[in-house]
Amino acid sequence: MNQVYITKASKYLPNAPVNNEQMELFLGKIQDSTSKAKRIVLRNNGIQTRYYALDPQGNPTHTNASLTCLAIENLFDNHFSLKDIEVLSCGTSTPDCLLPSHAAMVHGLLKGQSVELNSSAGVCNSGMNALKFGYLSVKAGNSINAVCTGSERVSAWLRSDKYETEIQSLILLEEHPIIAFQKDFLRFMLSDGAGAFLLENVPHPTGTSLRIEWMEAFSYAHQLEACMYAGGEKQADGSLKAWSDYTPEQWLEQSIFAIKQDVKLLNENILLKGAESMHTALCKHALSADEVTYFLPHISSNYFRERLYEQLKKVGINIPLERWFMNLTKVGNVGSASPYLMLEELMNSGNLKQGDTLLLSVPESGRFSYSYAFLRVM
């Protein structure tokens, strides 16, 4: 088996950063009213700026595929170029279309030559799953390199016009004319961007390289129902009714394609299962918290930061908060791209020393799955 190294990390964040006061300028106001959820959500998540692939009038400026392509192009230098790519592995929660696959659309923009493709679907773990495909390809000798990405272009899904038909239906039914909190609060949580890693079977000849020591993943879908979902509606028994089983009129009237989250289910399980899975991963590899130089947890909101710290301590994992590295407040919650954006910033910061170790932790509330990667600075 080969060793696998992340030899370069890059990103692409569209347009200028958007502060909290500007958000509804880009996303629009539902029924011309400022959201009642906005203030509460922003106070808890701690995000100060984020990026949207929109102009101030709410018109798209990039596709998901183009964001990803631009992040990949930032990997290219004298050491590595487009013609060198052997495997292209792309993860996203928000592909531009149902078919073809996201990776195929990215490859179409990149041009170049024929490569092996992998598209990873899901929510936040889609980026980590894309990374693992590339890692295993290089490790097994299937390829000498892989380009792996995580990206989101969710802003267009969050535009107020996507909810207006449901609003009108609620008014006609003389119900309370506000989108349910489970739909509205995500409009102030999520944002756009893309990150890319170059994986190779040898370290970079001059720059910093991170050796991937191991990756682990866990799913609890056998125990828990869906928590974050889109393209369906949750039923009384916890099952999801698919968009294809609704009429086109219902797609609009019930905002079937809107991203939704069961907040109660999230709060009850996301940290509990996160601590359980991380404990299992560290025990499997006989790794103690003292051996982790930097902990990079993807969390959707600063609301969970102290709570995750306390939950990890309950299972014997005590990583002091001063060893946590996050950039949520600056770049926002970019879903599958978030671990890429954290690692890109730290890797290019100039602060890493040979022998430092990094533990990536990514939860996904889709149906509760978790991914981990342990890296060593070479």
Domains and CATH numbers, the chain: 5-160+187-207 (3.40.47.10), 213-227+259-377 (3.40.47.10)
> Residue 173: pLDDT above 70?
no
What is the average pLDDT across 240-254?
93
Are the beta carbons of 140 and 1 closer than 8 angstroms? yes
Are the beta carbons of 86 and 114 closer than 8 angstroms? no
Q: In this predicted structure, what is the pLDDT of residue 35?
A: 78
What is the average pLDDT across 18-44?
87
Q: In this predicted structure, what is the pLDDT of residue 183?
A: 62
Angle between helices 338-347 and 125-139 (to 10 degrees): 60
Structure tokens at 23: 């958000």
| Angle ∠(272,277,283) on CA atoms, nearest 5 | 130
What is the average pLDDT across 34-58?
91
Q: In this predicted structure, what is the pLDDT of residue 186?
A: 85
Q: What is the mean pLDDT of the chain?
A: 93
What is the average pLDDT across 62-81?
97
> Residue 112: pLDDT above 50?
yes
- Among all chains, which residue has been given the structure tokens 């996203």? 92
Q: In this predicted structure, what is the pLDDT of residue 166?
A: 57
User: Long-range contacts for 251-256 (Cβ within 8 Å, ≥24 apart)?
Assistant: 252/165, 252/166, 253/165, 253/166, 253/169, 254/166, 254/169, 255/162, 255/163, 255/165, 255/166, 255/179, 255/183, 256/231, 256/232
What is the average pLDDT across 263-282?
96
What is this structure's pTM?
0.95
Are the beta carbons of 68 and 127 closer than 8 angstroms? no
What is the band of 176 on the pLDDT scale with cuts at 50, 70, 90?
Answer: very low
Angle between helices 102-110 and 64-73 (to 10 degrees): 50
